[in-house]
Amino acid sequence: MLKLAVLVSGGGTNLQAILDALADGRITNAQMTVVISNNRNAYALTRAEKAGVLSQCICPKDYENREMYYDALLNALEASGAELIVLAGCMVVMPEKIVRRYENRIINIHPALIPSFCGKDYYGLRVHEGVLERGVKVTGATVHFVDCGTDTGPIILQKAVEVLPEDTPKTLQRRVMEEAEWVIMPKAIDLIANGKIQVKDGMVVETKVPESPQMEDKS
Ligand code: GAR
């Protein structure tokens, strides 16, 4: 059973999608051990409580400086025994020390088709504002492994979503969540939990299962 720690900051609809997929068997071989928020008021914390998952709030403002906050976060992750860290609407950029400690074991959902509309200025609703300002006709979501850059790690799954002429940032955000994020986030976790993918030369590839030797026909 792969132990998951889920990091959140807000509403937690992606967290809910993961909880639902664990409950109905779309994710197998995994269990959620902790949900950690940097924001005390995140509704995601309530979702975790309702699902009976241990939840914890680790807020930067409770620490003297950023390094101490990162240390507290790392300690909590280590104490949880997490084997995969899932950034599900987490607005904290992971520091190098956490990325290196969990190399290829942190995944993030981004609400656009990377490499478009990503990087440090694009998060949450801003992504969809950017998409509408540019007038692109197709957007989507991406699940990727986290490396030391912002939204630069190996891509696991992507799903495209149509942009409609009457869209506002909020209607587009909702459609991207419903049609893409809540689908590919659980799918990516299931692939990892079942050893179906691996990172090779900076790319995500399918894990090749060695073919079983052919039985000799003795008849
Ligand atoms: C989601 O759209 C997620 O893709 C985005 O924030 C939203 C959180 O919603 N994440 C980022 O922008 C990270 N760069 P949720 O709390 O309801 O899952």
Residue 11: per-residue pLDDT: 96
Residue 219: per-residue pLDDT: 54
**Quick one: how many helices (H) and strands (E) in the chain?**
7, 9
d(Cα 185, Cα 125) in Å, to the nearest integer? 18
Domains of the chain: 2-206 (3.40.50.170)
Residue 54: per-residue pLDDT: 97
Ligand 1 pocket mutation pick from 13, 14, 87, 127 by most atoms within 8 angstroms of CB? 14
- 182 touches ligand 1 (CB under 6 Å): no
Residue 210: per-residue pLDDT: 72
Instruction: Give the pairing of strands 197-200 and 2-8.
Output: unpaired
Ligand 1 atom closest to the Cα of residue 111 is 4
At 162 the three-state DSSP class reads strand
Burial class of residue 175 in the structure, from the number of CB atoms within 10 Å of its CB (0-12 exposed, 13-18 middle, 19+ buried)? middle
d(Cα 22, Cα 189) in Å, to the nearest integer? 10
Burial class of residue 202 in the structure, from the number of CB atoms within 10 Å of its CB (0-12 exposed, 13-18 middle, 19+ buried)? exposed
Q: Which of 47, 110, 128, 144 is an active site residue?
A: 110
Question: If you measure from the C-alpha of residue 87 to the centroid of ligand 1, how many angstroms do you get, rounded to a whole number?
Answer: 9
Q: Is residue 110 among the annotated active site residues?
A: yes
Residue 209: per-residue pLDDT: 78
> Torsions phi, psi of 203, nearest 5?
-125, 150
Ligand 1 pocket mutation pick from 39, 45, 181, 189 by most atoms within 8 angstroms of CB? 181
Residue 88: per-residue pLDDT: 98
Single-letter amino acid, residue 140 = G
Residue 48: per-residue pLDDT: 98
Q: Which residues of the chain have pLDDT under 50?
A: none
How many other CB atoms are found less than 10 A from the CB of residue 119?
A: 13
Residue with tokens 């509403």: 11
